[in-house]
A = this chain, B = another copy of it.
Amino acid sequence: MKYLNKIVECVPNFSEGRDKAKMEQIIDCFRGVDEVNLLDYSNDVNHNRMVITAVGSPEAMQKAVVNAIGVAVREIDLNQHRGEHPRMGSADVVPFIPIRNMTMEETVLLAKKVAAEVSKAYDLPIYLYEKAASAPHRENLADVRKGQFEGLAEKMQDPHWKPDFGPSEPHPTAGATILGARNFLIAWNVNLNTDNVDIAKTIARKIRFSNGGFPCVKALGINLADKGQVQVSMNLTDFTQTSMQQVFDCIREEAASRGVSIDCSEVIGMLPLEALANTTIHYLQLKDFNLNRILENRLLE
Contact = CB atoms under 8 A, between A and B. Distances in A.
A285 B285 CA distance: 18
Nearest to A286: B265
A264 interface: yes
A296 B280 contact: no
Interface in A262-284: 262-267, 269-273, 276-277, 279-280, 283-284
A245 B283 contact: yes
A137 interface: no
B287 A264 contact: yes
Contact of A272 (B7, B269, B288, B295): B295
Interface in A176-194: 184
A294 B271 contact: yes
Given A1-B2, A286-B265, A293-B271, A37 B301 contact: yes
Contacts of A100: 296, 299
B279 A265 contact: no
Nearest to A295: B270
Interface residues on A, range: 35 or more
Contacts of A295: 9, 55, 99, 184, 270-273
A224 interface: no
Contacts of A80: none
A286 B298 contact: no
A57 to B, nearest CB: 10
A296 to B, nearest CB: 4
Given A262-B285, A276-B276, A284-B279, A297 B296 contact: yes
Interface of A: 1-2, 4, 7, 9, 35, 37, 39, 55, 99-100, 184, 244-245, 248, 262-267, 269-273, 276-277, 279-280, 283-289, 293-301
18 contacts: A1-B2, A2-B2, A37-B298, A39-B298, A55-B299, A99-B296, A264-B286, A265-B286, A265-B287, A266-B288, A270-B294, A271-B294, A272-B294, A272-B295, A272-B296, A273-B273, A273-B296, A276-B294
